[in-house]
Amino acid sequence: MASKMKPVLLIALSVAVILFLSIQGSIMNTASADESVKGSTIAGVEVSGLDEDEMMEALQLAINSWIAEPMIISDGEHEVQVDPSQLIFDLESTVKQYQTTVDQPWFAFWESEQVVHLPIQVTVSEVIKNDIATQMNWDVEATLNSMTTHASYLKEHEIAAVQKDLTSLENERIALSIETIPNEGAGISDVVDLLNGTVVYPGETFSFITVMGESNATNEAKNFVASLLYDAILNTEFQIVERHAQEKLPAYLEPGINAKINIQFNEDLQFLNSSMNPIKINATVEGPELKLEIYSTEKSKEVLVQTFKEEISPRIINRYSENLSAGQEQLVQEGKNGMRVVVTRIVSERGSTTEEQISRDYYSPTNRIVLISADQPEQAGTTNPADMIDENGYPADNTDTTGTANFGPDPNGVDNGDPDTQIDLDNNGLPDMPLNEGEEDLPEGSYYDKGGNLITP
């Protein structure tokens, strides 16, 4: 009898264990659900007890209300506004997934209905992908995933963008420029703080003026930092879009390797990241020097920068002054050579080499100016007055003609110095009293009229 009872007890015990596990699973599923909602939900919309059409209608109403407000994706500095109507909500697939999840097998008839909370299946359109891709410093895929998650549950409309991991950018330094900070560089720290950490992505154009914004640094400070950046960029493959040379050779860097920034006249320093990798600009002040570095994930090309210089001698300008004694000279301005500089860049990659002329700069010489006494000793030969200038830089004219006159020949070719005989009272262009040879031999009473005709009574 006891042996017959054993199978019955084993069967009863097995049924009890199965029932306990089923109830425990149901309790766990319920506990994992949103405690504020007793039944199952899709995107926060309660759908327990609804048939397929009712679910579709309830979900569509919730979506219509949610897409009425735009989505704002921001990193705290930049933001993109997304039109939620560009999202594709697949309600049919979502409802089928829900039904598959909550359906119970026939042998679990004693279990209560399973409570689940599902999202709506959402697809992002190409329009939204392109909008997000405009932000170079965002991780596009991660940001889109975050946005899709919010949309699938019809959550809040403000979403934090996911930034790219830039730690790999400092794998390799591809350019370096170090120079002692000039004394007139007031405000360099401000410029350095604005420039340091700047990331330039492939295909992006960097603008020095844009990065500086409303900086109050002096032009000298901006020129100095821009020149070091230009020096570093020259040693990369990046395309120089805009650069202006300084009017005079600065005391730093090599001739031809400098840049000028003038916000008023929109004179900028711009370059295009023509590589396949993003770059990072690091600028730091280390003691009396400014250190500027450019980092990237890798350096794929070798660059050689060459400069060709031609010196230009100054002119010597002599100015004459009556305030100096005879033979005395005074140096007004010392001369200084000018220069023509041509900068070329040679880029090599896998045995292929390209050479490009980057710039042709002209730095005018400073002329030597000497002040010389206008009282010069007499010398043989003729002095050209055109070669003489006074101390103000005007042609010198030391000829004094006061009190002298040259009346020239009379209409009959006779040179006469008597101004009285040259008077022309009737303004006919002829002297009123011409002197003619043999005038004393005229017949008595005869005379010459004003036309020079002999009149005999």
User: Could you please report the per-residue DSSP string of 272-312?
Assistant: E--SSS-EEEEEEEETTEEEEEEEES----EEEEEEEEEEE
Q: How far apart are CA 217 and CA 198, in angstroms?
A: 18
Closest listed residue to residue 48, CA positions, set 124, 4, 112 = 112
Helix (H, G, I), strand (E, B) or coil at 341: strand
The two three-digit tokens of residue 441, written as one number: 């031999």
| The pLDDT value given to residue 300 | 82
| The pLDDT value given to residue 100 | 85
| The pLDDT value given to residue 76 | 84
| The pLDDT value given to residue 349 | 87
Q: How far apart are CA 312 and CA 160, in angstroms?
A: 60
Strand blocks (E) in 37-76 = 41-42, 45-46, 71-74
Higher pLDDT, 320 or 379: 320
Closest listed residue to residue 423, CA positions, set 411, 415, 435, 431 = 431
Alpha-carbon distances, residue 385 vs 23, 107, 226, 397 (angstroms): 121, 126, 49, 7
Mean pLDDT along residues 234-255: 94
Q: Find the range with the poorest average confidence among 163-172, 218-227, 303-312, 426-435.
A: 426-435
Q: How far apart are CA 1 and CA 7, in angstroms?
A: 11
| The pLDDT value given to residue 411 | 42
Domain residue ranges in the chain: 26-160, 165-300, 302-376+384-399, 409-457
The two three-digit tokens of residue 46, written as one number: 């309660």
Q: Which pTM does this prediction carry?
A: 0.58
Q: How do residues 25-61 score in pLDDT, each as one tens digit?
A: 443 343 333 445 578 899 889 988 888 898 889 999 9
Q: How far apart are CA 314 and CA 335, in angstroms?
A: 6
> Which residues fall within 8 angstroms of residue 6, CB to CB, at 6 or more apart?
none
Q: How far apart are CA 317 and CA 303, in angstroms?
A: 44
Beta bridge partners of 425: none
Q: How far apart are CA 105 and CA 114, in angstroms?
A: 12
Determine the residue type at 421.
T
Q: Is the pLDDT of residue 189 over 70?
A: yes
Q: Is the pLDDT of residue 254 over 80?
A: yes
Of all residues in the chain, what percent are helix, strand and coil, respectively (each to 5)?
Answer: 30, 30, 45
**Identity of the highest mean pLDDT range in 42-46, 234-238, 388-392:** 234-238
The pLDDT-based confidence of 224 (bands split at 50, 70, 90) is: very high
Which run of H or E residues covers position 11? helix 2-32
| The pLDDT value given to residue 186 | 77
Contact 308, 339 (CB under 8 A): no
Q: How do residues 55-89 score in pLDDT, each as one tens digit?
A: 889 999 999 999 999 999 998 888 899 999 899 99
Beta bridge partners of 281: 198, 294
Q: How far apart are CA 380 and CA 218, in angstroms?
A: 57
Which run of H or E residues covers position 211? helix 208-212
Give Dmax (Cα) for the chain. Answer: 200
DSSP secondary structure code for residue 36 in this structure = T
Higher pLDDT, 204 or 412: 204
Beta bridge partners of 363: 339
> Which residues fall within 8 angstroms of residue 318, CB to CB, at 6 or more apart?
370, 372, 389
Determine the residue type at 402.
T
Distance of CA 171 to the CA centre of its chain: 26
DSSP secondary structure code for residue 237 in this structure = S
Higher pLDDT, 370 or 377: 370
For the purposes of burial, counting CB atoms within 10 Å of the CB of 374, is it exposed (0-12), middle (13-18) or buried (19 or more)?
Answer: middle
Strands of 198-200's sheet in order across: 172-180, 289-296, 279-286, 198-200
Q: CATH for 302-376+384-399?
A: 2.20.230.10
Contact 282, 197 (CB under 8 A): yes
Q: How far apart are CA 344 and CA 357, in angstroms?
A: 4
What rounded mean pLDDT belongs to the chain? 79
Q: How far apart are CA 168 and CA 297, in angstroms?
A: 6
